[in-house]
Structure 1
Amino acid sequence: MRVLITGGGGFLGQKLARALGTTGQLRGQPITQLTLADLAAPAPLTLPFPATNTACNITDPADVQTLMAQPFDVIFHLAAIVSGQAEADFDLGLNVNLFGTLNLLQAARTHANAPVVVYASSIAAHGGEEPAHIVDGVELNPQTSYGTQKVMGELLLNDMTRRGMVDGRGLRLPTVTIRPGRANAAASSFMSSIFRDTLQGETSNCPVAPDYPIYHTAPRTVVANLIHAANLNCADFGTNRCINLPGRSDTVAQMIAAMTDVTGPDAENRITWHPDAAVQTIVKGWRGHCTPTKALALGFAQDASFADTVRWFLADDIAKAP
């Protein structure tokens, strides 16, 4: 079983690689080779099977063809330009999120096998004139370049799956929080920083009102769901291979209250409240409520509480003092 993770240097790619190292197998077969690819070669991990860490620019078709000269059995496509950056730089987002995805799928189809492709899409696929509460089957109406690029990737994945070129599974991820590390250019970045940074003794600004609803999921849960997607049988998905993943709907105030219940008031006291019009323009077009009936029926996991997310962050990711 040969496995590829694009975006392998990112926090989700690294967590996914470690999780695969723990299980040692995928789709009932032992993993014999794992390749982690990113714009810069990811840092090596200690894993129980051979692993390769390589640099690859997915916007370059030749680079992708070299990466995929040998066929992979399972591909986790996590590489992307995040929402705020894709909105600020249309061409960069288009090149990475759309053409990079196309390059990957084109390279995958050159082999006789039809590899399983788990594609990380986004809840940002929804918006605009859709209902405030999303259910399966609503017409997608993204209101950002990032969401639009992700939807175009979904359509490519569905069509190439229909034609037998790949075996696609597209997952619309809720906002993933609490993300470790430093803030990135995602418009949703504050949804992690107001918890992560304040729990680590720093201040962090919340640019939206306390009653803003967030459809979210924990890193542990999304990694488990990525692996679950790869393990499912193709027939389980039906003709639409792209689904809304389970998440929780909580307001910012409810999430802060859950953090305070776990850790006390110190972190909450480090949050500032200054509106940011640019961030609000993007995130207020997203949907904060979703009923993912199909994903739940397929056995995808759903978080029980944000308090669990806080506990997992404290156990897994909080920066420790030297």
Structure 2
Amino acid sequence: MHILITGADGFVGAALVQRLLTEPPPALAARPLHLSLLDRQFRAPPTAPQVEQHAGDLSDPALLQRVLATPVDLVFHLASLPGAQAERDPELGLAANLLAPVALLNALAQQRRQSATAPVPRVVLASSVAVYGPTDPSRRLHEDARPQPALSYGTHKWMTELLLADHSRRGELDGRSLRLPGIVARPSRESGHGSAFMSQIFHALREGQVYRCPTSPQATAWWMSLGCCLDNLLHAATLPADGLPASRCWQVPVLTASVDQVVQAIEQALGAEAPPHLAYHPDAEIEARFGRYPAIDTPAAEAAGFRHDGSIAGLVARVLIQLDAADGAAR
């Protein structure tokens, strides 16, 4: 099975590669896996013979031709430019978050058009809750809420969802879009994410560092651990094609919690007795865009088998295990 992962050297991408190499779902492990990894650059060479790296720009036709020389069975499209960075550089955001996935989906569809015997590529798109735009924290949201993106990032994600659904309608692709929340805990070095505070509070409390949180303690966000994110991506990849909604899109179940609730859960897990190393300095723009999420109902996604972390305590436990493992690998 030929699997292509874009953004493969990123936070989620690198973890997905490791999961596929060590714990692939039975439905994907039935055939030998060959992983084609695509990113602008890679920090380390491949460590497994079934892995091939391709460094370059996703919108480069020559690169896509090289990667797709062997028909692809499954694609995880994770590559994107973070929303805050895309807002500062609109041209770069357009290229990375819309034009690049358009080029990828068209190239994949062409694979099917050129050969009726070629596999219909299954595409799992990492979309974003940014498609919703501003939300009212006092009113529950439903998974069928109409997107009203307030950032170019959310607009481009929504447009890509629609294009993938249209290719699926035409029988050229088998698409599955997942609207993902903030995934924690991203590496502390990462920048460009307006929601970076969601990860930074884990690093600060775990390492006993002082952190200026750009929201109030009462700011509410949608939370998901990296492990849970991988579970949902792989579940999307193994869902039977029959009976999928025309939208080919799900709002994955999420945990809704305030920053203060998560901080308290982290302190309890760490056994911290000292006052928190957080100072709250709310930024009105960040709080408005990333700290006013309401509870959301996702019955269709849950019926399809998608899941959240279960509880804030469960989420915190998974994140701390992830960070301990990352520290161990770095030694």
Choose from 295, 298, 322 the match for 1:316.
Answer: 322
Quote the Cα distance in structure 1 between the aligned partners of 2:183 and 2:243.
Answer: 25
DSSP 3-state at the match of 1:105: helix
Question: What whole-Å deviation, never above 9, does each CA across 1:227-271 have from its counterpart, x for those lacking one?
Answer: 000000122422110110011001111111111111133686211
Does the CA-based 8 Å contact 1:2-1:34 persist in structure 2?
yes
AA matched with 1:187 = G
Q: Name the amino acid aligned to 2:4.
A: L
Bigger mean CA deviation after superposition, 196-205 or 29-38: 196-205
Q: Which of 190, 193, 200 matches 2:197?
A: 190
Do the aligned partners of 2:133 and 2:289 also contact (CA within 8 Å) in 1?
no
Q: TM-score, normalised by structure 2?
A: 0.90
SS, match of residue 196 in structure 2: helix
Counterpart selection for 2:244 from 237, 241, 248: 237
Normalised to the residue count of structure 1, the TM-score between the two structures is: 0.92
Selected match of 1:175 from 147, 171, 182:
182
1:196, distance to aligned residue in structure 2 (A) = 2.0
Assess if the C-alpha contact under 8 Å between 2:140 and 2:295 holds in 1.
yes
Aligned residue number for residue 115 of structure 2: none
After superposition, residues 200-215 of structure 1 pair within 5 angstroms as 200-215=207-222
Say if 1:59 and 1:287 are closer, same or farther in 2 by CA, change over 3 A.
Answer: farther
User: How large is the Cα RMSD of the aligned pairs?
Assistant: 2.2
Change in CA separation of 1:130 and 1:194 when aligned onto 2, cut-off 3 Å:
closer
Contact 1:109 1:165 in 2 (8 A): yes
Determine whether 1:250 maps to 2:257. yes
- Larger displacement relative to structure 2 (161-170 or 109-118): 109-118
* CA separation of 1:42 and 1:101: change in aligned 2, threshold 3 A: farther
- Equivalent residue pairs, number: 320
Structure 1: runs of 5+ lacking an equivalent: none
1:268-279 equivalences in 2 (<5 Å): 269-279=276-286
Equivalent pair of 1:130/1:139 in contact (CA under 8 Å): no
> Closer, same or farther in 2 for the Cα pair 1:90/1:116, shift >3 Å?
same
Shift in alpha-carbon separation, 1:267–1:169, aligned structure 2, 3 A: farther
Structure 2 unaligned regions, length at least 5? 113-118
- Counterpart CA distance in 1 for 2:197 and 2:97 is 22
- Residue in 2 aligned with 1:43? 44
Percent identity between the aligned chains? 35
* CA distance 1:105–1:44, shift in 2 (3 Å): same
Q: Distance in 1 between matches of 2:296 and 2:219?
A: 15
Call closer, same or farther: CA 1:216–1:122 in 2, change over 3 Å.
same
Q: How does 1:52-71 map to 2 (within 5 A)?
A: 52-71=52-71
